[in-house]
Structure 1
C-alpha cells in the first residue's frame, strides 16, 4: 500500500505531506493525475492506482480565502476499495493520521517537515 498526499495549509503552499515511500513523488503524482481533469472532486483510476481529489471536508480555507484541496494517489489494496470520491473520503480521509494530522498542521505558519 502506498499513499501520496498533496495539499496546502492556511499559510503554506502546496506540498507533499505523504510521499508513498518515494524520495520525490512528483512523477508518480503527475502520472496518476494525467487526464483526470481539473474538477474539484475527482476519482480517477490510473492502472492499479487511484488519483483522488476533494475539497477539505471541513471547508478550511487558505489565507487567500480558497477552499483547501486534498489530492491523493493511492495504490495497493486500498486503491481497490475506492470507486468514488465518497469511497475515498471513507477509506483515506478517515484513516488514522490523515484527518487528525491535517487538523494539527493546517493552521501552522510554516509547512510541516517532510514525512514518509
Structure 2
C-alpha cells in the first residue's frame, strides 16, 4: 500500500478511488480514521501510516450542499513530506486532482 483514497462525488457516495493494492481497503481505513469522524481536516503521522483528511481544494460540494472531503492513507514514499494538512494539499492533491476531475460527474470512469 502506498495510497488509499476515499471520497464522494457530486452524485455518488463514499467510494475508494485508490485502494493501495489491497483487496479490501476498508479495515485499514476504519482503523486509521477511528475517532476522527467529526474532524473536517487533520493529519495524523503514525509510525507506519499517515492518515490525512482535507476539504476539496476547489470547494466542490455534492448535490446536498456538503463540502467534499478527501481521506487518504499514505505509506512509503507517498507519506514522505506530508506532516500537515497543508503539506498534504501541496504534495498529494496534485497527484490525484486530474483523476478526481474526470470522475467528479462520472464515478464509473474511475479505474484503479
TM over 0.5: yes
TM-score, normalisation: structure 2: 0.90
Matches within 5 A, 1:16-27: 16-27=16-27
Moved over 3 A (4+): 113-116
Matches within 5 A, 1:2-21: 2-21=2-21
**Residue of structure 2 equivalent to 1:53:** 53
How many residues matched? 112
Question: Of Structure 1 and Structure 2, which has the larger fraction of its residues in helix?
Answer: 2
Q: Is the 1:19–1:115 Cα contact (8 Å) retained in structure 2?
A: no
1:37 to partner: Cα distance: 5.2
Where does the alignment leave 5 or more consecutive residues of structure 1 unmatched?
A: none
1:34 to partner: Cα distance: 2.4
Please report the RMSD computed on the Cα atoms of aligned residues, expressed in angstroms: 1.6
TM-score, normalisation: structure 1: 0.87
Q: Is the 2:103–2:110 Cα contact (8 Å) retained in structure 1?
A: no
Where does the alignment leave 5 or more consecutive residues of structure 2 unmatched?
A: none
